[in-house]
Chains A and B, each alone.
Chain A
Amino acid sequence: MYGTGIIRGLRITLKNLLLPSRMFTLHQYPDRKVGILWLAQNADINPLKYVLANPGKSIRAIIGLETVEDRQPKHPRFRGEEFTWYEQRCTGCASCAKYCPLGIIRIVTEPSGNAMPEGEKYGIEVFDIDIGRCMFCGLCVEACPYDALHLGSGFEEGTYKREELVIDIDRLRKSRKKPSTWFRPQLEEKSYDPGIGRDVDWTEAGRHESPSSDDQAAKWAKR
């Protein structure tokens, strides 16, 4: 009989509309509009009291001008933009450049600029990553033998020009040290979450124990 399908469909639609477990989640992004109830709940007072205390903010909330910053929740393993790079850990071996399927990493080193003792390390002059062509496969991170390069956690890198997408060494030095835990089990063991966590120091980011400055000094003294 024609028509029963529509009734069944309406029943399911109604169920999805009313049951809280089946509701569609709506993410207003990056600014989420909030109402008076949310503001009052956040300030932890009665909504009526809140309206009396902040009439200006309440009116703004009613006409939809009060917003909070909302971010899509991401898993710590999310392979995001803004590579996290630790200059102290990097030896300039260019494994990442070699492993990159697209060849978008360029590294220029100079042998004289030793920052670490015993000549274990090249000074790095150029470290360019063209994230305009990067597909975030993470092979460079997988390749890095010293855990110097990590994937980042952001995904909001919109620019107007392609050359602004080329990350150079200064930007890598200055960028926030919030690495993704992808292929970095040592960060996962600490249950580190780049979304809420703090910046990670270069001594904590590696798989191996790094010598303290005292140890290094002792090593030098012995020799």
Chain B
Amino acid sequence: MPIRTEPVTINLGPQHPSTHGVFRLRVTFDGEEVIDLEPVFGYLHRGTEKLAEERTYTQIVTLTDRLDYESAMSNNLGYVTALEKLGGIEVPERAMYLRVISVELQRIASHLVFTGFFLQELGTFVTMLMYCFRERERILDLFEMLCGARITVSYMRPGGLTQDAPSDFWPALNDFLEDMPGYIDELEELITRNEIVLSRTRDVGVLDPEVAIDASISGPILRASGVQWDLRKADPYEIYSEMDFEIPIGATGDCFDRYIVRLQEMRESVKIIKQCVDKIPDGTVKTDGAFFMRPPEGDAYGCVEAPRGELGFYIVSDGGISPYRCKIRSPSFINTTMLRDMIVGGKMSDLIVIFGSLAVNMGEVDR
């Protein structure tokens, strides 16, 4: 009689360097093969939605910085978009252009972080991370010029921005835009045709477009599966309708496509920022609104295309100085739901690669 073997259950995390924060994967292995997987989250829960109910509308901007701490600008924009819909606030045109510039810079920075950590998880220790972070430093320096902070920016306000860009911001931005395509070429030469990267990521963690749409996946992961859906085109906010850019889509929906779509998006972002710099009008960047604003009773849902997908804020107002309810639809959280379907049946070594290709940010999953 042969010896009976049993599957082994392993806890990956919550304190694990590859889980991008405090995230726990309860994985059951049968040898090398993953036969079951259960994501466990909630370790970083800070109760942002509840905290928002006792803050004034302007103070909530500081809370949104801490959702997805790698793309604070996009979070700010998502919140103020919802609030401006609710209150019917007009935004000056110059503010809209500056918003788009800062959001697209943030998209590049966020994708650079993704590229660095994705390659880190493939085993390139910190080499790619250093290359990517050097480029990202320059974006953070630009943010420091705009708003005095690098990560937790709190730059946007209902009805505009805190303040206009300083005079030394524009030359620095132009320098960066000149250099950035070269940086992306360099990243592409290092990674895209590298045989090890190709063999580790091709046909790994394939997500079918139908499944992705059913699970309401959004962002680069959806586009990697071949679905042309981008809120900047589908439901243009701010001044995206005037911009000329393309939506890169992937062919098969594997890990490699998720990487290459993000790389192409960086190029498109550079294109958008260049158009904004050319077109930006003069004028004010802030409407004179009350700090303790009281939007009319009602509700509004505002959503933007954050680097990780559709970021939505649903705000219910009862006419007071703070929202009655503030629901956050975070892309990372929704994108995590398909983890089990992508990983089960794969190999142990693919597990971290697939999870890394989702670019999940735990600050946003747990909120």
Q: A residues near B, CB below 8 A?
A: 1-5, 8-9, 12, 16, 24, 74-79, 99, 101, 135-139, 142-143, 151, 180, 182-183, 185, 188
Contacts of A79 in B (CB 8 A): 147-149
Q: Are B59 and A77 closer than 8 Å at their CB atoms? A: no
Chain B residues whose CB sits within 8 angstroms of the CB of A135 once the complex forms: 62, 152
Chain B residue at minimal CB-CB distance from A9:
B190
Q: A12 vs B183: C-alpha distance in the bound complex, in angstroms?
A: 11
Does B90 sit at the interface, judged by CB under 8 A? Answer: no
Query: A-B pairs with the 10 shortest C-beta distances?
Result: A5-B194, A79-B148, A101-B59, A77-B148, A182-B148, A137-B62, A137-B154, A75-B144, A75-B145, A5-B195
Interface residue from A24, A101, A188 paired with B166 (Cβ < 8 Å): A188
Q: Is there contact, CB below 8 Å, between B145 and A77?
A: yes
* Residue in contact with B195 in the complex, picked from A4, A139, A188, CB distance below 8 Å: A4
Q: Which residues of A contact B58 (CB under 8 A)?
A: 99, 139
Question: Is there an interface contact between A139 and B59, defined as CB atoms closer than 8 Å?
Answer: yes
Contact size class for B? 20 to 34
Chain B contact residues, majority secondary structure: helix
How many residue pairs link A and B with beta carbons under 8 A? The number is 75
B196 interfacial contact with A, CB 8 Å = yes
CA separation between A2 and B61, bound complex, in Å? 50
Residues of B near A3 (CB, < 8 A) are: 195
B97 to chain A, nearest CB (A): 19
Give the distance in Å from the alpha carbon of A137 to the alpha carbon of B153 in the complex: 8
Name B residues whose Cβ lies closer than 8 Å to a Cβ of A: 55, 58-59, 61-63, 130-131, 134, 141, 144-149, 152, 154, 162-163, 166, 186, 189-190, 193-197, 291
Nearest CB in chain B to that of A142: its residue: B162
Q: Contact: B166 with A77, CB < 8 Å? A: yes
Residue in B131, B146, B154, B186 with the greatest tally of chain A CB atoms within 10 Å: B154
Contacts A74-B144, A78-B144 supplied; 9 other A-B pairs, CB < 8 Å? A2-B195, A3-B195, A4-B195, A5-B196, A77-B144, A79-B147, A137-B62, A139-B58, A151-B148
Interface pair B148/A75, CB less than 8 Å apart: yes
**CB proximity of B200 to chain A, nearest CB, Å:** 12
Which one of B59, B131, B166, B193 lies within 8 Å of A99 (CB-CB)? B59
Instruction: Assess the A185–B163 pair: CB atoms within 8 A.
Output: yes
Q: Which residue of B lies closest to A100 (CB)?
A: B59
A8 contact set on B, CB distance < 8 A: 189-190, 193-194
Let me know if B291 and A143 touch, CB within 8 A: yes
Q: How far is the CB of A126 from chain B (nearest CB, A)?
A: 23
> A9, A101, A185: which contacts B62 (Cβ < 8 A)?
A101
User: Which of A5, A8, A180 neighbours the largest number of chain B CB atoms within 10 Å of its CB?
Assistant: A5
Q: Are the C-beta atoms of B194 and A9 separated by less than 8 Å?
A: yes
Give, as a whole number of angstroms, the nearest-CB distance from B90 to chain A.
21
Q: Which residues of B contact A137 (CB under 8 A)?
A: 61-62, 152, 154
Query: Given A2-B195, A75-B148, A79-B149, is A12 in contact with B186 using a C-beta cutoff of 8 Å?
Result: yes
- Which residues of the other chain, B, contact A9 by a CB distance below 8 angstroms? 190, 194
Pairwise interchain contact A12-B134, C-beta atoms closer than 8 A: no
Say yes or no: B193 contacts A5, CB within 8 Å: yes
B61 contacts which chain A residues (CB < 8 A)?
137
12 A-B residue pairs with Cβ-Cβ distance under 8 Å, sorted by A, are: A2-B195, A5-B194, A8-B193, A16-B131, A75-B166, A78-B148, A79-B149, A99-B291, A135-B62, A138-B148, A138-B162, A182-B163
Residues in chain B near residue A143, CB distance under 8 A? 291
Q: Given the known A-B contacts A24-B130, A101-B59, are A136 and B162 also in contact in the complex, defined by CB atoms under 8 Å? A: no
Alpha-carbon distance A135/B162, docked complex (angstroms):
17
Closest to B58 in A: A139
A78 to B55, CA, bound (A): 25
Q: Which residues of A contact B144 (CB under 8 A)?
A: 74-75, 77-78
Measured CB to CB, the closest approach of chain B to A87, in angstroms, equals 24
The CA of A136 and the CA of B149, in the complex, are separated in Å by 9
Q: Determine if A183 and B59 form an interchain contact, defined as CB atoms under 8 angstroms apart.
A: no
Assembly CA distance A12 to B189 (angstroms): 8
Smallest Cβ-Cβ distance to A1: which chain B residue: B195
CA gap between A143 and B206 in the complex, in Å: 51
Q: Which residues of B contact A138 (CB under 8 A)?
A: 148, 154, 162
Contact B148 A180 (CB under 8 A): yes
* Distance from A172 Cβ to chain B, minimum over Cβ atoms (Å): 20
